Structure 1
């Protein structure tokens, strides 16, 4: 990568689906032999449908949920998105995020740029809390989240079985915008219930 080549963060497009799937598949196959069946992996139509749902105004807050890609010289080198943390109305101000970076581009600040983009877009849309789940052995991701003000709020021991062993997940959380210091406003200016 040239030192002056900018990484561009932008909303994802349908044309980005295949490179996003390639990045995702690499992440879930890490350490798994190619002979292992790839069951449950999203397919192009699944990801297109997910993007369409996230970008539509069908969520309870009538706000588009950010779904971003990072590009380098036009090539997708990472992507990130948020989903509602829970579907019930009481949780409508909280999102859960995911960030994926192409394995050839790790350590180049792409995750940092995607994270900042997600935080900014989610706060601008009025969300107040962001949640994440991180593999407890993913030190780089844990450090990145700490740099962005995420606090470790929980440990989920042995919740995943992959690569021949049980894995723990760390739950992290950070406030967005005014967080919990003020009640959320509705479109009419009254506090939401």
Structure 2
């Protein structure tokens, strides 16, 4: 049995924006993983990448078989200055690329990079739509449930909760 090679985790570049936009658009259209109802275009993603990297937050891509197979970034949790060391993580994998360890590699690298960039706390906002994979992935990195917001999103004909998960990057 051959083990697939580990993905290459690297900083995202403007050349990755089309793939990032495509990956996200899949989740906007076909899932409740995001509460967006319309996928942002490549120009929006270009600006997002530039904004986050300009202030030192990591925006990473997992490259598998020579192409982007997923991406992850952290962004400020809230804009008030006292929150400046608390970030929210975002991670998405391309359709068909789940279950191969790519998410684990990507999230691990993201948390290391966020810690290096000065983050102390990371919040994950996970839609509770019945798929536990994101909760399990975050749990593997020490995220614990910090709360539940009930019925806060309406998508694909149903009301959805979000789980707030939190990881303390000052531990270990």
TM-score, normalized by length of structure 2? 0.91
Q: Deviations over 1:10-45 (max 9, x none)?
A: 00010100111110000111159xxxxx96421111
* Structure exhibiting the larger radius of gyration computed from Cα positions: 1
Checking the alignment, whether the CA contact within 8 Å between 2:28 and 2:37 is kept in structure 1 is no
User: Which protein has greater RCO, CA pairs closer than 8 Å, 6+ apart?
Assistant: 2
The counterpart of 1:118, out of the listed 110, 114, 118, is: 110
Q: Could you tell which deviates more after superposition, 131-140 or 11-20?
A: 131-140
Aligned to 1:14: 14
The 1:72–1:164 alpha-carbon spacing in structure 2 relative to 1, beyond 3 Å, is same
* Among candidates 137, 152, 159, match of residue 166 of structure 1: 159
State the superposition RMSD in angstroms. 1.8
Counterparts of 1:124 and 1:17, CA distance in 2: 24
- Say which of 153, 160, 169 aligns to 1:176: 169
1:12-161 matches, cutoff 5 A = 12-30=12-30, 40-57=38-55, 64-136=56-128, 137-161=130-154
Offset from partner CA, 1:62-100 (integer Å, 9 cap, x none): xx0000000012200000000011111100110001000
CA deviations 1:95-132 (Å, max 9, x no partner) are 00100001111111111111101110011112100001
Uncovered stretches (5+) of structure 2, i.e. residues with no partner:
none
Deviation at 1:138, TM superposition (A): 2.5
Secondary structure (helix, strand or coil) at the match of 2:18 reads: helix
What is the Cα deviation at residue 4 of structure 1? 4.2
Gap regions ≥5 residues in structure 1: 33-37, 58-63, 180-193
Superposed CA deviations along residues 134-166 of structure 1, whole A, max 9, x for unmatched, are 011230111111111001011011111111111
Shift of 1:178: 4.8
> TM-score, normalising length from structure 1?
0.82
Aligned length: 167
